Amino acid sequence: GDEPLVLGIETSCDETGVGLVRGRTLLVDAVASSVEEHARFGGVVPEVASRAHLEAMVPTIERACEQAGVRLHDVDAVAVTSGPGLAGALLVGVASAKALALGLGKPLYGVNHLAAHVAVDELEHGPLPEPCLALLVSGGHSSLLRVLDVTDTVEPLGATIDDAAGEAFDKVARLLGLPFPGGPHIDRVAREGDQVAIDFPRGLTSRRDLERHRFDFSFSGLKTAVARWVEARECAGEPVPVADVAASFQEAVCDVLVRKALDAAQQDGIEDLLIGGGVAANSRLRAMAEERAARVGVRVRVPRPGLCTDNGAMVAALGSSMVSRGRTPSALDLPADSSMPV
């Protein structure tokens, strides 16, 4: 085809992702995850992640090219997540991308991980409506963004002031004796539970909190409330109704996420809301967002679960937009920036 072939590399957390995109067409999304190596620690161990990226990088690039039926020499541009994320993990991706770009004599594009979570939706649902709002919820981040141009103007409206939404899912799952990562397990168990059984707190929604934190999130108080509730049951020698706790906890998280996202949409008069990140796979979040958004005339876009979690295709997708919008490539001294603002 005439459209540029873009290779994207993602290593900001525990997934080694290599994606190949031609224009807006996804050719392949190869992911090697070290999640099992972290499971026994109950969270991602940075040093373990970096080492796993080093081992997985070359085989994952080879696998991606093989599956897409392209040669490395056919690649027209190399995109890589340069931040935010785990410093050591990012470095592996950035160094690999530089080596590739230099070796192939092709431009290098350092991209922002959060913007890439937004751009990936173009691979599934076509051109992104701009402006739109993006709610990004994963194990590492929970942000509400105003997207004017995904390649260079993404404004943060709010973010979590403590735990990320996915982190809260993982911690509560652990408390309930469910495996890591806990989000999918809570989602599954909650289907058998009653979401109004327990009235857990909605963080940063009081009138006073809204003054300073209208679009920010807080999930650590919720996690503590769940822990106390479970403890009280255990101390009383009563069984813990796991499904009800899971459903009520999930309801509290989704309620706040959807409420604030739609509040922002109405404030700005924006009619499109994109939800991304691993937690976007949550079935209750999807259903609630669609139901409440429809009531206020907002359209919801959620990429399929495989594109919501960290992957290389999202980086390739954003890289591809940068190429087509004529953005300036990055210099070969592109740094990895663990706390890169969006």
Which residues of the shown chain bind ligand KG4 in the complex (CB under 6 A)? 13, 138-140, 166, 169-170, 181-184, 187, 277-279, 281-282, 309-310
Residue found under tokens 């997934």? 15
Q: Which is nearer to Zn ion, 60 or 81 (CB)?
A: 81
Residues 135-154, mask of contacts with Zn ion (x by CB under 5 A)? ---x----------------
User: Which of ligand KG4, Zn ion, none is residue 181 near (CB under 5 to 8 Å by kind)?
Assistant: ligand KG4
- Site size for Zn ion, by CB under 5 A? 2
Residues 98-137, mask of contacts with Zn ion (x by CB under 5 A)? ----------------------------------------
Q: Which is nearer to ligand KG4, 170 or 323 (CB)?
A: 170
38 is in an annotated binding site: no
282 is in an annotated binding site: yes
Q: How far is the CB of 307 from ligand KG4 (least distance, A)?
A: 10
Q: How far is the CB of 116 from Zn ion (least distance, A)?
A: 8
Q: Which is nearer to ligand KG4, 255 or 310 (CB)?
A: 310
117 is in an annotated binding site: yes
From 32-40, 215-223, 226-234, 302-310, span contacting Zn ion (CB under 5 A): 302-310
Q: Which is nearer to Zn ion, 195 or 309 (CB)?
A: 309
Q: Which is nearer to ligand KG4, 277 or 329 (CB)?
A: 277
Distance in angstroms (rounded) separating the CA atoms of residues 171 and 90: 25
Q: Which is nearer to ligand KG4, 77 or 136 (CB)?
A: 136
Q: How far is the CB of 202 from ligand KG4 (least distance, A)?
A: 17
User: Which of ligand KG4, Zn ion, none is residue 182 near (CB under 5 to 8 Å by kind)?
Assistant: ligand KG4
Binding site for Zn ion (CB under 5 A): 138, 310
